[in-house]
Amino acid sequence: MMPTPSYLDRRDQLETYFDRTAVDAWARLTTDAPVGRIRATVREGRNEMRTTMAGWLPEDLRGRRILDAGCGTGALAAELASRGAHVVAVDLSEKLVSLARERYGSRIGDGHLDFVVGDMLHARLETFDHVVAMDSLIHYDASDIVKALALISGRVKHSIVFTFIPRTPILAAMHAVGRFFPKSDRSPSLRPLGETHLRQLIAADPALARWQLGRTRCIARGFYTSQALELSAS
């Protein structure tokens, strides 16, 4: 099973966006440096999302291998490594990965961090106990998200925790999605998904037959809305 042309197309746009246009904005957003009111809500929502996703993994992660798929500047990877995990953190953006390396290095307590530039679907990434993908699949079409999950799932033992943008009436009305940043550096459009549709696609994919849908939580704070969903191996 190969990534589709629409996945590859989107991936290239995202690489350009996160490696050029948005690097400075992401670098700042992912620190405590002052930001405007709108971005402050995004930061608050993202912090809560990171805590939620990290909280769905076992507290003691010593000896566990985790893939952070689309790690950005590495905060979630570092949090999991601080609990003892060996985290392989991969991202398309060379600049964000360099920044993550600068910020966190390769060891935290008993944990290890291995930052890699590339596509999360790359097979050389080997096998993992858990995969986290925080807001890194949100720009892809529903069918490409499910294909990506199916491809990744073949290399995962226990669970995959990822986020999607839920299609809600409030979001539709606000037209707020994708407007975290000024027009000049606005991200490639997000792809809001109906949760029921996403669940149906996952349930219908034969490659995901051994996976059960688990916990889900939508986090909405001002201009940030995203929903975490857990898939567990049966």
Residues in touch with ligand SAM (CB under 6 A): 11, 14, 18, 30, 70-72, 75, 90-93, 96, 119-120, 134-136
Residue 214 has a CB neighbour count (10 Å cut-off) of 13
Q: How far is the CB of 223 from ligand SAM (least distance, A)?
A: 13
Q: Tell me the sheet residues that pair with 160.
A: 131, 231
Q: How far is the CB of 234 from ligand SAM (least distance, A)?
A: 26
**Residue 88 and residue 131: Cα distance in Å, rounded?**
10
Q: Which helix (H) or strand (E) holds 8?
A: helix 5-16
Amino acid found at 39: R
Nearer to ligand SAM, 73 or 84 (CB): 73
Minimum Å gap between C-beta 130 and ligand SAM is 14
Q: Which is nearer to ligand SAM, 127 or 200 (CB)?
A: 127
Residue 209: Cβ within 10 Å count: 11
> Residue 115 Cβ, how far from ligand SAM at the closest point, in Å?
12
Nearest residue to ligand SAM by CB is 72
> In terms of DSSP H, where are the helices of 59-213?
75-82, 94-104, 142-153, 169-174, 195-204
- Using the minimum distance from each CB to ligand SAM, give the nearer residue, 30 or 159: 30
Helices (H), 34-180: 37-55, 75-82, 94-104, 142-153, 169-174
121 or 208: CB nearest ligand SAM:
121
Task: Report the candidate in 203, 204, 218 with the shortest Cα–Cα distance to residue 228.
Answer: 218
Residue 212 CB, shortest distance to ligand SAM, in Å, is: 24
Integer angstrom CA distances of residue 50 from 123, 151, 226:
26, 23, 11
Closer CB to ligand SAM, 143 or 212, in the complex: 143
Closest approach of ligand SAM to the CB of residue 170, in Å: 20
Nearer residue to ligand SAM within complex by CB, 104 or 203: 104
CB atoms within 10 A of CB 141: 14
